[in-house]
Amino acid sequence: MTPAIHALVMIAATAGSVVICRKHWTRPTVGRVFIAFTLGLGAMFVSIMVSFHMCALGQPFQQWLVPGVALIAILALVGNRMWRRTTAAILVMFMLGLSLHYGGVVHGTDWVGVVSYPAENGGEGDGAREWHTWLTGFYRR
């Protein structure tokens, strides 16, 4: 999956979450908001633990943050139990899948996750911005 498709998946997940929140919105209760933040932040933490790696090529912050915020909104604002659970499960899969995909892409030959990165010759390389860099964090080598 190229970074452009990666960005489109992130946009689709966010847009789909907004549509579902608008269509199935109910007034949130204090308990549901508490559970939304607890489960949403917990899912983000798990995604960080699964995908975090100590390298100079970048970390997948946007990949867990964007679906994680959407997850919190879905859990807090959607009243229909089936829509809430199904959308939450899909967002958690996106969060983990996109984070792991990010690690695979930045360790390839075409993309990095930081502007200045260690080059193969021992110097530093400069990453080039693309249209999706603001969302995905991918820079072309």
pLDDT tens sequence across 28-77: 999 999 999 999 999 999 988 888 888 888 888 899 999 999 999 999 99
pTM score of the predicted model: 0.87
Return the SS3 of 62: helix
Q: Establish if 101 belongs to a structural domain.
A: yes
Domain count of the fold of the chain: 1
Instruction: Give the residue numbers spanning the domain of 48.
Output: 3-109
Partner residues linked to 112 by β-bridges: 139
Distance CA 63, CA 60 (A): 5
HSE (side-chain half, CA atoms, 13 Å) at 2: 6
pLDDT digits (tens, 9 = 90+) for 76-129: 999 999 999 999 999 999 999 999 999 889 888 888 888 887 777 666 778 888
Q: Establish if 123 belongs to a structural domain.
A: no
Q: Establish if 114 belongs to a structural domain.
A: no
Return the SS3 of 27: coil
Whose tokens are 């847009």? That residue is 15
Partner residues linked to 128 by β-bridges: 140
Distance CA 128, CA 141 (A): 6
